[in-house]
Amino acid sequence: MNQKFYRLLTSKNYLNLIKLFHKIFGEKFKKELNISKYYNYKVHRLNIIKNLIKRYNLKNYLEIGCDQDEVFSFIEIDHKVGVDPVSGGNLRMTSDSFFSNNNHKFDLIFIDGLHRYSQVKRDIQNSIKILNDKGIILIHDCMPFTFYDQACPRAQRKWNGDVWKAIVEFRTYQNISTYVGGFDNGIGMIIKNFNQNPLNIRNKSRSFRNLRYKDYYDNFVEYLNLVDIDKFYKIIDDNIRK
């Protein structure tokens, strides 16, 4: 995606047209989540990433989707790779292209690329393959507050996309554990260990792609395996130090 096309897709007039499309043809249920009990507005992804690198002396960092380098440029680590097809990072390519040619493994991977279910799912699957033992995968924008925050195609500037659907799917896997921290638009976390609390919703939907916003609204705490910042760090600490 080039910069001109990206500017078109995020222009006010275009987004207003897409919002009208959703109003006419989209889901009728659009109630906003009450997140007051679950969300911490003070925690930022950059601080989490920097803390993890320092606390566990991590050496290799991969970031998928760098945009304006608001995270990538502040990361201090022995080896870092930032992948973005439009701007930021140090590799100008799609994540699919990167993964198909990459031979390195990483201790920490931060996924903040295209916020669509199918792409996020591929990015997570590919990241798991190149994650070092006891490594950590973080995923941004896992916790939309409103229908339009997650509506696809994008209908407003603030947009999490349907990343949450990929999180729900990985919650059902047996060989990894998936959580979402209730801060900074929802920070997903995936670690490679036996999932002691798998989500069982296979009978409720033939495809995770087809999950509805109302499904999320009614079940978001369970779907996301939502945790606070203290629990978030404890899970990582227990996994690395065991």
Instruction: Give the separation between CA 183 and CA 107, rounded to whole angstroms.
Output: 22
Is the distance from CB of 226 to CB of 169 less than 8 angstroms?
Answer: no
Number of domains in the chain: 1
Residue 3 placed within a domain: no
The token pair at 179 is 């959580």
Phi and psi dihedrals of 74, rounded to 5?
A: -100, 0
Instruction: Give the separation between CA 207 and CA 91, rounded to whole angstroms.
Output: 33
Residue 13 placed within a domain: no
In the block, tokens 């896997």 appear at: 173
Pairing of strands 131-139, 226-227: unpaired
Provide the residue type at 108 as one letter. Answer: L
Q: Which of 208, 61, 198 is nearest to 138 (CA)?
A: 61
Residue 237 placed within a domain: yes
The token pair at 63 is 């970031």
219 vs 6, 106, 135, 214, CA distance in Å?
A: 33, 33, 28, 8
Residue 19 placed within a domain: no
Q: What is the CATH number of the domain that holds 235?
A: 3.40.50.150
What pLDDT does 186 receive? Answer: 98
Residue 14 placed within a domain: no
* Residues spanned by the domain of 233: 37-241
Residue 193 placed within a domain: yes
Residue 188 placed within a domain: yes
E strand or H helix that includes residue 219: helix 213-224
Residue 2 placed within a domain: no
Instruction: Give the separation between CA 112 and CA 134, rounded to whole angstroms.
Output: 21
Is the distance from CB of 77 to CB of 60 less than 8 angstroms?
Answer: yes
Strand positions, DSSP E, the chain = 60-64, 79-83, 106-111, 131-139, 177-181, 187-191, 226-227
pTM for this structure? Answer: 0.95
pLDDT in tens, the chain (242 residues): 556 666 777 889 999 999 999 999 999 999 999 999 999 999 999 999 999 999 999 999 999 999 999 999 999 999 999 999 999 999 999 999 999 999 999 999 999 999 999 999 999 999 999 999 999 999 999 999 999 999 999 999 999 999 999 999 999 999 999 999 999 999 999 999 999 999 998 655 568 999 999 999 999 999 999 999 999 999 999 999 87
